Chains A and B, each alone.
Chain A
Amino acid sequence: MIDESSPSLEPPGAVRRLQAAQLRLAAVALMTMMTGTVLDVFFRYAFNKPLRISYDLVESMLVIYVFHGISSVFLARRNIVIDVIDSLVSPHILRALAVIADVVSVMCLLLFIWGMCQPAIQAFEYGDRKLELGVPLYVLWGFALAGLLGTVVCALAAFVQISLRQLRSPR
């Protein structure tokens, strides 16, 4: 099930703008992936000259797409949860579980950021690049880390929303 247990209450404007910017970046990455692949296919079959960069382009754009697209999933609380327990416990406990789930989610995101720092630094130190595209790998790691930081902000905003909502809701 999609976790929509606690929507509404608008997030702060800055968070919405951040999420909108990340969404647009992910959209651009998706369109670039699609167009790059179509052009590769077209040039391959029409002129026997495939775009050699297309493979690298898709991989690079996918990194931007995923790490910047997930912020909207977290802000809209669209992560999949198993809701078997919903009919077994009181709404009070459910609200507490939602808070725990949010804390665990933010912790996991921070764990990913922590885990990605070292490989990102190594990519910078070694200066590895995408073979055909020539883009340094640390740039992609940078995009990934920036996307995850934005996601943490969105996840925290969603967490604050649910907490405020619970404080305001009648007991």
Chain B
Amino acid sequence: MNPGIIGALGIGSLLLLLFVRVPVWAALALVGFSGNFVLSGLPSALTLTGTSAFDVASAYTLSVIPLFVLLGEVASNTRLSADLFNAARLLLSGVRGGLAIATIAASACFGAVCGSSIVTAATMTRIALPEMHKAGYDDRLATGSLAAGGSIGILIPPSIILVIYASIAEQSVPKLFAAALLPGLLLTALYMAVAVGIAFAYPHYAPRIKRASIRERLKALAEPWQFILLFIVTIGGIYAGIFSPTEAAAVGAFGSIVLGAIGGRLTWATLWQSIETSIRTSCMLFVIIIGANLFSSFMVQTQFPTMLAEGAGALNISAPVVMMMIVLAYIVMGCFLEGIGMVLITVPVFLPLVVKFGYDPIWFSILVVIVVEVGLIHPPVGMNLFVIQAQAPDVRITSIYRGIVPFLIAPLLLIVILFLLPSLALWLPKLLYG
């Protein structure tokens, strides 16, 4: 049988297994192993299975994942994020929609340290939602800004999803982090603009809160100093070329533990809780990466992506149309698939196609992260929406669904900008790393 057809059958089987609730890692691993077995025989497939698992679990570049997850957990459990939100809240007091803007800003900053959307959304919901309820904010604006703000965590560096992409696409992690910075900042600004727009269009959604005095604002600025210090050391260290991403993550995690202990906010129990959650979260990711690695090697053998590219060429489909179809496919898949799983399943198939059509893999990584972000927040299965509902069971899921819809304009607009202006993602990596 033609390897391309075997590849297509493999993808079909994978989707079927996922549909019948087989865990993502097991579906990827089973299809990957079976495909390798059919194409190269049992001994070769077995060796590949064993060695690829070991290779993933000993990849230095992937060590950044548990360390950044630990940093995020410690920062969340020691309430560094609360300082951040409080500062933003006081600075923006008196501005209509100020709390929603503060939520988005604090989420972007927190995401810049922890690298995970779900952790950001969960943490900020616990902190910001009670404040917004107290101020009389409408549930739709409150949860919409929380979900949108939380999703920035996977785009603003350090982004765990970019580390995973780098490992599949064999790209440099610092380059990807550099590429994500400007789009991440622009997306933050776009989300804020949406929040302001809603607050002005529907003033009763966001009652104006009392303006803080200059003294209170200055005091608030100094509060998140620990957070700012961590941010400068970790992210600044990566961009300045002082640290590799793993070193930055280790120094950041260590720093957050030390700062938490000095400030009396970190107990042994909190530290153990942070470590335990980090282990569960990051090992859950590792096991999927191991499965995806196996699936990816199967895809490479089948040359299925090449077949797709040739098919598109034969049908005279232009590159922008192919890209639009890919974006559309991601958005549709985002309705059903979980973000990291989606990246791991699709990148081995789409990346060779994208490169063949002359697009930069670094630019594509940012596009993928943005569409995954859309998947995180768009109904019916946006993970961030469920995270928020789990933290705030009194808010109806339909309110959360309705609240997020206007915010979806921002990432969709960013996708258009990224197509029109690829240098938005490519300029900084070129400047920093040549």
**Residues of A that sit less than 8 Å from B by CB:** 1, 3, 23, 26-27, 30-31, 33-35, 37-38, 40-41, 55, 58-60, 62-63, 65-67, 69-70, 72-73, 76, 78-86, 94, 97-98, 100-101, 104-105, 107-108, 111-112, 114-120, 140-141, 144
Which residues B264-306 have CB closer than 8 A to chain A? 272, 275-276, 278-280, 282-284, 286-288, 290-291
Q: Would you call B21 and A118 a contact (CB within 8 A)? A: no
A37's nearest neighbour on chain B, judged by CB, is: B250
Complex Cα spacing A40 to B259, Å: 20
Q: Would you call B275 and A80 a contact (CB within 8 A)? A: no
Neighbour of A115 across the interface among B50, B60, B253, B288, CB < 8 A: B50
Neighbour of B254 across the interface among A27, A35, A55, A105, CB < 8 A: A35
**3 A-B pairs with the lowest CB-CB distances in the bound complex, closest first:** A115-B50, A115-B49, A37-B250
- The answer to whether B341 has its CB under 8 Å from any CB of chain A is yes
Cβ contacts under 8 Å, A23 to chain B: 276, 279
- The answer to whether B247 has its CB under 8 Å from any CB of chain A is yes
For chain B, what secondary structure do more than half of its interface residues adopt (helix, strand, loop), or is it mixed?
helix
- The answer to whether B381 has its CB under 8 Å from any CB of chain A is yes
Q: Would you call B53 and A115 a contact (CB within 8 A)? A: yes
- A-B interface pairs (CB < 8 A), number: 196
- The answer to whether B26 has its CB under 8 Å from any CB of chain A is yes
- The answer to whether B336 has its CB under 8 Å from any CB of chain A is yes
Q: Would you call B63 and A58 a contact (CB within 8 A)? A: yes
**Residues of B that sit less than 8 Å from A by CB:** 17-27, 29-30, 33, 45-51, 53-54, 56-60, 62-63, 66-67, 70, 243, 246-247, 250-251, 253-254, 272, 275-276, 278-280, 282-284, 286-288, 290-291, 336-338, 340-341, 381, 383, 386
Cβ contacts under 8 Å, B47 to chain A: 115, 118-119
Cβ contacts under 8 Å, A115 to chain B: 45-51, 53
Cβ contacts under 8 Å, B46 to chain A: 111, 114-115, 118
B54's nearest neighbour on chain A, judged by CB, is: A144
Cβ contacts under 8 Å, A35 to chain B: 254
A35's nearest neighbour on chain B, judged by CB, is: B254
Complex Cα spacing A23 to B291, Å: 22
B43's nearest neighbour on chain A, judged by CB, is: A118
Q: Would you call B254 and A62 a contact (CB within 8 A)? A: no
Complex Cα spacing A100 to B19, Å: 13
Beyond A34-B253, A114-B50, 19 additional contacts (C-beta under 8 Å) are: A33-B250, A34-B250, A37-B246, A41-B251, A59-B63, A65-B66, A65-B279, A66-B286, A72-B283, A79-B287, A80-B23, A82-B18, A84-B381, A85-B19, A100-B20, A108-B30, A108-B291, A115-B48, A140-B54
